[in-house]
Amino acid sequence: MRLTDEERGWLDGTRGPAVRRAMEILVALGEIYDAERLVPIRSAQLAGVSYANLGDAGLELLEAWARDGRVACPATLNPAGMDLVAWRAQGIPEKFAERQLRIVRAYETMGVRVSCTCTPYLVGNRPAPGEHLAWSESSAVTFANAVLGARTNREGGPSALAAALVGRTPAYGLHLDAARRPQVRVRVEAPLDSAADWGALGVAVGLRAPDRVPWIEGPPPPQEESLMALAAALPTFGGTPVFHLAGATPEADRWPPPADGFVVGRREIEDAYARLDDGADGIDLVYLGCPHATPETIRRLARCLEGRRVRVPLWIAAAREVLERAEADGTAAAIRAAGGTPVADTCFVVAPLRGRFRRVVTDSAKGCFYARGANAMQVRLAPFDACLEAALHGRMPARRAPPAAPGSPDASGDAAAAPLTARGAGTEGERGGGGPGAAAPADRGAPSGGPAGAVADAGPWRGRAIRHGAATGTTLVSPEPLSFYGGVDPVSGRVVERGHPLAGRSLAGRILVMPTGKGSTVGSYALYRMARAGTAPAAIVCAACDTVVAVGAILGEIPCVDGVDVGRIPDGRPAAVRGEEVTLLD
Ligand code: F3S
């Protein structure tokens, strides 16, 4: 990567140690992903705020950065682990609150605006089309790319902070046209009547095409709340932080639609609901506002609750600034009068609610995924109206599948999810240009499922060193991408994502082999925290390493190699990683 003389000086420390460290991260990422230069950014959105996620390791890292680091562009903050003002009323322990407030102070010292929301675009940080950003928070990243037409990779929390301190980010991945090009056509032939339905669409598309930029057609342009739900679910269940929706998103017309793809019908939508349904007996929380609620959703809830009283705790979370407006116009008071709780600064995933609520109903597919992993909740995905019903009556109505759209595969009895062409979803020639910030190519050399699919040779396999180093351990092969936040318990190092092929297995000390990372951008901090706690993998080998895993490996000093034909590496065998080489030892 070419640096200007000024940038070279920053790397040498002319702007102090924090900017030097930040430049080291940015230059490492730029070199890894073949960026030609740094590009100035309009703003940064920083994930990695909750003490529940960062632990003491993350807190100390941030306080070290805050000693002399100051942001060089507007920067906003993701939700914290508690209401920063009313945390006592929320039942937050003193020790947690003390650490959480230190984290927020560290960010504030660096000049970050303490917005504490995953919807910065609702509180003034709303980028214009074509603007370059360094955003973490996967739902906001996807919303910015797809709905606003801005340009950001799915940054890990530390790489977004590094970019904020420098004011620039390496120009690769979704900053470039090639990675934004649609790669798979998705025809939706199911009615989508609620934000929860749009989240279910994100689940279906993310699972079916985790590595490709989808071009979606069929539904009429939806409300912004539905686009937010799709933007939240898609990268949670897949990895693609951009989509194009015909007739609705600004870049959908820039390219011809891909020739190959698949249909999402009623069956796929219902499968998504079923995947996020752990049963509804004994609901003890109804949660709305993931991503954080818009003013319209808050008003809608207030209208629906008029003259009624909830029987189950009902939370609606939003940015503090949005809730202040709701306080001013009386809608927050109306929700409280009905027994509901407006929640600022935090959410049911990043707050320490483990054991306090066990069964939650929510209209967020993303929320279901992370509430299971982060707070051990049993979940049920349901549309807004059914959530309301659950809060008012303490029980869930049985889910009634909507009627199939006329002429859809479901209506005609044909198989849903049929490929659009005989060749199925996508061709090799169309998959290029994804880049690490877009969608890591999970099927390029993806593991074939351990010993059964492995080819019995001993390597060595060569790739590209993301983080140089040497390690030995036993291979642990995942055929699917893994999220280090929400998918792994950092204390034990065990995979906790339900249904994941590695569920229940410990990563500690193993040579983890996987296609790529997925999910939350807090994963970088989670990996760093695991390294500090001794629960991290000894080394990570990927087909295509995404930014979140790369930054976590750099910070945690975990040897990491990508570009390896990981489908050839067998599970459960002693192996060594040295530099850019992986070798079996037996
Ligand atoms: Fe936001 Fe929490 Fe959902 S950070 S996107 S409300 S998991």
Q: Which atom of ligand 1 is nearest to the CA of 348?
A: 2
Q: How far apart are the CA of 79 and the centre of ligand 1, in A?
A: 7
CB 276 within 8 A of CB 207: no
Distance CA 430, CA 290 (A): 33
User: Residue 366: CB within 6 Å of ligand 1?
Assistant: yes
Going from the Cα of 371 to the center of ligand 1, the distance in angstroms, rounded, reads: 10
The reply to whether ligand 1 has any atom less than 6 angstroms from the CB of 66 is no
Q: How far is CA 427 from the centre of its chain?
A: 26
Closest atom, ligand 1, to C-alpha of 371: 7
CA atoms lying within 13 Å on the CB side of residue 182: 26
- Residue from 78, 137, 316, 347 to probe ligand 1 pocket by mutation (most atoms less than 8 Å from CB): 347
What is the rounded average pLDDT of the residues 479-506? 92
Give me the chain's average pLDDT, please: 89
Distance, in Å, from the CA atom of 501 to the CA atom of 111, rounded to the nearest integer, reads: 42
Alpha carbon of 293 to ligand 1 centroid (Å): 10
**Which residue's alpha carbon is nearest to atom 1 within ligand 1?**
291
d(CA 342, CA 467): 44
Ligand 1 centroid distance, CA of 490 (Å): 19
Q: Is the pLDDT of residue 404 over 90?
A: no
Decide whether any atom of ligand 1 lies within 6 Å of the 232 Cβ: yes
Quick: pLDDT tens for 250-305. Answer: 999 999 999 999 999 999 999 999 999 998 678 999 999 999 999 999 999 999 99
Q: 102: CA distance to ligand 1 center in Å?
A: 21
As to burial, measured by CB atoms within 10 angstroms (0-12 exposed, 13-18 middle, 19+ buried), residue 215 is buried
Q: Which tokens is 523 given?
A: 């994963």
CA angle 309/313/318 to nearest 5° reads: 100
> Comparing 10-19, 82-91, 244-253, 511-520, which segment has the lowest mean pLDDT?
511-520
The 3-state DSSP class for residue 495 equals: strand
Distance from C-alpha of 446 to C-alpha of 555, rounded to nearest angstrom:
25
In the predicted structure, residue 441 carries a pLDDT above the cut 70: no
- Kindly report the number of other CB atoms within 10 A of residue 280's CB atom: 19
Q: Per mean pLDDT, which range of 170-174, 224-228, 438-442 is the poorest?
A: 438-442
Average pLDDT over residues 185-196: 97
Assess whether the C-beta atom of 347 lies below 6 angstroms from ligand 1.
yes
Q: What is the pLDDT of residues 16-57, one digit of tens each?
A: 999 998 998 999 899 888 999 999 999 999 999 999 988 898
- CA 579, CA 461: separation in Å to the nearest integer? 11
Ligand 1 centroid to 43 CA: how many Å? Answer: 20
Q: Whose CA is nearest to atom 2 of ligand 1?
A: 347
Give the three-class secondary structure for 170.
strand
Pairing of strands 464-467, 470-477: unpaired
Distance CA 11, CA 125 (A): 28
Q: Which atom of ligand 1 is nearest to the CA of 139?
A: 5
pLDDT for 499 equals 86
Rounded to the nearest whole angstrom, what is the distance from the C-alpha of residue 441 to the centroid of ligand 1? 26
The yes-or-no verdict on residue 442 having pLDDT over 80 is no
Q: Which of 541, 514, 228, 266 is nearest to 363 (CA)?
A: 228
Q: Is 485 in the pocket of ligand 1 (CB under 6 A)?
A: no
For the CA of 140, the closest atom of ligand 1 is: 5
Examine the pLDDT at 427 and tell me if it is beyond 90: no
> Is the minimum distance from the CB of 231 to ligand 1 under 6 angstroms?
no
Q: How far is the CA of 327 from the centre of ligand 1 (A)?
A: 22
Q: What is the pTM assigned to this prediction?
A: 0.85
User: Sheet containing 43-46: which strands, arranged edge to edge?
Assistant: 75-77, 43-46, 133-135
